[in-house]
Amino acid sequence: MPSENGRLRSTVDEIARSLRSRMTPVNSRFSFLPIFPVGEEDLREYIYDPIAALPKGICDLLPPSGIVLAPYLERAAGRGYPAVVYEKPPESKLIFATRVDGDDFASFFFTVKDEQVSDYHYFLYEALAAVVAQRAPEEVNSEWIALMRSEIEAEVHGEVDERSWRLKQIVLRRPVPARTGGKPFREYATRAFEDTLTLYLHGVCCDIDVDPGPRQLPSRYIRKRLEVLRLRFPPPEGYAVFPEDLNREPAAPKRLV
């Protein structure tokens, strides 16, 4: 429907209600729909390659899912759903990813026009990691909580992304006996799981670097987290996590750090 200034737009919930039958299947878990012209080579980078790199254990935790490639997503006023638009909105209203959950289907919408493929990959894996965090089995959650508790007790500095770093500061400002319990710690541990899993999935798919910085988690702790995720969610055949895995894989793999 048109907006107040006449630009063509539809909200993502409106599109999600009618798109499932129009989507192209990739496998039993994923399908996709570009709602503007996207070349075949671009579809490989946007859809086929990042899905092929997903560990089976991750796919098993996801609901049937559709990936919608939109030119741009525009933030709604108030609490409304974002809209798909064909002209780039102001930076203050531009968003890069959103999700609409149905009864048995999740629709993931992404801004892709004028965006780097590497940035799209990050937003894709971040969106999937958020769903996995909600659906992870208890043994995964317990193992992760124990790992985060040990880091907090050791007062390990830094995080892998800004949002988990901010939540960590809230936890560290609490009295020592209260740091590893209660809502602030649970929120931090969940966000740290999402951010670390995003890094893990992105790294399995693509050659990426972890940039050092004053807020960056030390590399030995990043590695320990990734080892936990690799054990729980092994990468597909032909992909690797660490440099030393390269010679052990039968096909030419990707590496993370």
Write the pLDDT tens digit of every residue in 42-68.
999 999 999 999 999 999 999 999 999
Between CA 73 and CA 162 the distance in angstroms is 22
Between CA 255 and CA 250 the distance in angstroms is 14
Q: What is the mean pLDDT of the chain?
A: 90
Please check whether residue 105 is in contact with residue 64, taking contact to mean a CB–CB distance below 8 angstroms: yes
Between helices 182-205 and 219-232, what is the axis angle to 10°?
A: 80
Compute how many other C-beta atoms are within 10 angstroms of the C-beta atom of residue 72.
23
Task: Give pLDDT, residue 254.
Answer: 45
Residue 239 has pLDDT above 80, yes or no: yes
Residue 256 has pLDDT above 60, yes or no: no
Look at residue 255 and give its three-state secondary structure.
coil
Per-residue pLDDT band for 207 (boundaries 50, 70, 90) equals confident
Task: Give pLDDT, residue 247.
Answer: 63
Residue 1 has pLDDT above 50, yes or no: no
Task: Give pLDDT, residue 248.
Answer: 54
Residue 212 has pLDDT above 60, yes or no: yes
What percent of the chain has a predicted confidence (pLDDT) above 90? Answer: 80
Task: Give pLDDT, residue 129.
Answer: 98
Task: Give pLDDT, residue 253.
Answer: 42
Domains, the chain, ranges and CATH?
9-135 (3.30.2010), 138-248 (no CATH)
pLDDT in tens, 109-166: 999 999 999 999 999 999 999 999 999 999 999 999 999 999 999 999 999 999 999 9
Residue 175 has pLDDT above 60, yes or no: yes
Per-residue pLDDT band for 210 (boundaries 50, 70, 90) equals confident
Triad 39, 44, 46: Cα angle to 5°: 85
Task: Give pLDDT, residue 2.
Answer: 42
Task: Give pLDDT, residue 205.
Answer: 94
Between CA 20 and CA 100 the distance in angstroms is 12
Residue 4 has pLDDT above 60, yes or no: no
Per-residue pLDDT band for 214 (boundaries 50, 70, 90) equals confident
